[in-house]
Amino acid sequence: MSAPVQTRKEPLPHATVVFLGPHQSGKSTAAGHILVKLGGLDKRALERVDRETSNRPTSRYAWVLDRLRLERDRAMTLDLKICHVALPTAVMARCAAAPAPAPAAAAAGGSDSGSGAASASPVALTILDTPGHPDYLRNTITGITQADFAVLVVDSRPVVLESPSSCFQTRDLAQLATALAHQKTLIVAINYLDVAVEADPGLAEQRFNEAADSVRKLIKRQSQSATFVPFSALAGDNFIERSPRLHWWSGPTLLEAIAAAAAATPGITGSTAVAADLPLRMPLLRVYKVGGIGTVPAGRVAGGCLRQGAIARLLPPLPAADGGVACAASACEPSRGVLEGAVRSIECFHDSRAAAFTGEWVGLAVKGVPTWWLKRGCVVSDAADRPARLAARFTAKIQVLRDPTSKRQERLRSLKPGYCALVHVHTAQAPCKLASIRRCNAKGEVVEANAPCLREGEIAEVELQPLVPLVVEPFKEYPALGRFVVRAALRGDNGGGGQAGGAVGSTAAMTPVIMALGRVESVTYVEDTMEHVVARVPGPRKAPVRSISQAGQGDDPPKQEAGAIGRVQQQQRQQKQQGARPVALLAPAYTAPTSASSCAPSGPSPTSRGCTTDGTPSREGPGNPLNIGTGAPSHVGEGCPFLPVVELLSD
């Protein structure tokens, strides 16, 4: 049963915090503990969690957010979790009245840089809980890009803290938090000190100092602006109130550190006026279908103002490899190829709004837009006020964090023109081709115009070309839409742990590796964004399901694949066996013939369009932009900025 909608005349100031950390460090327990202690969970839901965790008391707070059965069975968070609480006035007043930490305390626990600017008024706090397992790095990056500041939860137990995987994750997450979050504020929460207290009450302080020193060595630059706080996520020591078991600690509690950082966010200090004057941009995080209401996209407003009654324009990206096809042309306006719908209502955590401003988390009921046309990564804009456009290419400055090359496959893995990597920006993920490289010095000045490749630690100005429709904006205008992460495009192409020198396209399970961080400097947009895209959508997207037909039906039975692309490929194979010639249509460089007799295209040659001379699709070219299994560098055809849409023409 949904919660009743309440109306508030003046909404509270808002801030967003994301909980990060290695696997099993206690992120979900800490976020759930805050939600329970501050009254963000109703009594009935809390009683249900207590009944479900009667045999597992240590999972009580984690199961407040981890509600999927798979998450509870595996004891790990899989997707991004969002919850909403209000920081009480007493906590904000205590932060405002707290003096600056003493030098000794600052040396042991970092600097509390935000306590002096804290406000005594209550603050609306949105909490994001991210997965800690490396396989779900995409969801973690999405949570960081939508947060104002981060809390890095670290396990203080020596066996866990000193493990290579924990050190690797802690370093990468700290770099992501300071590079992608809206602020440089980082709170390092040292967890599991209750284990040290139970073993030896005098060992907790030593364990905290050792853990803090280890983390400082890992994160280095990020530790200069970090606040170190000891706490216990399960027992609640130094969580909201000070604990007698940690009597040696004179710094802030975890909630006080969060409140101090929240008080310095733009949504509370009032520095969002510039962003409010910009055109509306809101990346979608989730899309819901509510009975009696319809399609409800939800996300955080990155800039501008969303008003009830406005005409919202949505740019849906094409999925890369989920087995389905999302059409760029709209069922609402197929001639223009855009998705537009009237905003009927706006809600912010069951609070009805007439307008939503920069930094607020809202859901909007849009009329006339099917749910299955939208997905994570779409961007909402105002159709009447400079709506968003797709990027044909964009220039950015990046810093290489890790060299993806290896001795055995240096040619394929080096960051050089033609390399294809995955780019994570706001809530979207898209493969992009590295078009050009201009190496820069530490001051950002170009020192080499056409650099052959990039190595670890180098800074460069690069030009990236998206292979699927993608919305990005310059960092100076929309910081939330201008920060991005570059990582290896394929699991077998990451240069990280696991098997060394794995082939491109390998299915071996490897840890995704972050290669570079960047900021968008300028964008070249696509004119008439969706007009030339050709696609056909039979219905809602489905997950790719592959199965082999039963034996005895032939020596080489065809594969039965679900999804539009799978059906097209299967029809192409059948037509090829019957002697027909399937035609691969590419958008926007090639116009489809209307009949089989007019198969002499005026555009590029069949070979440049990803086809062989006899018209059949080839393994190289635009039809296979990642060139999986070919060993050739990634590229796309001339005049085709996006991933081609393949369609079979019937005679």
Non-local CB neighbours of 457 within 8 Å, separated by 6+ positions: 399, 400
pLDDT at 601: 38
Alpha-carbon dihedral sign for residues 454, 21, 228, 255: positive
DSSP string, 420-470: EEEEEETTEEEEEEEEEEEEE-TTS-EEESS-S-B-TT-EEEEEEEESS--
Instruction: Name the residue among 455, 244, 349 with its Cα closest to residue 4.
Output: 349
pLDDT of residue 576: 63
Under CATH, to which class is 19-269 assigned?
alpha beta
Domains 273-382 and 391-525 share a fold: yes
Give the pLDDT score at 257. 93
The alpha carbon dihedral of 75, 80, 83, 87 has a sign of positive
CA nearest to 17, candidates 199, 192, 245, 257: 257
Can you say whether residue 149 is alpha, beta or left, with left for phi > 0 and alpha for psi between -120 and 50 degrees? Answer: beta
Query: How much is the pLDDT for 494?
Result: 37
Sequence spans of domains, the chain:
19-269, 273-382, 391-525, 546-577, 581-651
> At residue 239, what is the residue type?
F
What pLDDT shows up at residue 306?
A: 92
Partners of 518 in beta bridges: 398, 484
Around Cβ 121, how many Cβ atoms within 10 Å? Answer: 14
Q: Look up the pTM and report it.
A: 0.73
Instruction: Calculate the dihedral angle through the C-alpha atoms of 447, 451, 454, 458, rounding to the nearest 10 degrees.
Output: 0
CATH of 391-525, one of 2.60.40.1260, 2.160.20.60, 3.30.420.10, 2.40.30.10: 2.40.30.10
- Mean pLDDT per 10-residue interval, the chain, length 651 residues: 50 89 93 91 91 91 92 92 87 64 40 45 90 91 93 92 88 90 88 87 89 90 85 90 90 92 75 70 92 91 92 69 36 52 91 90 90 88 92 93 59 74 92 92 87 87 92 93 82 38 40 83 76 38 40 40 55 63 34 36 41 42 38 38 33 29
- The three-point CA angle 590-591-596 to 5° equals 115
For the 273-382 domain, the top CATH level (class) is mainly beta
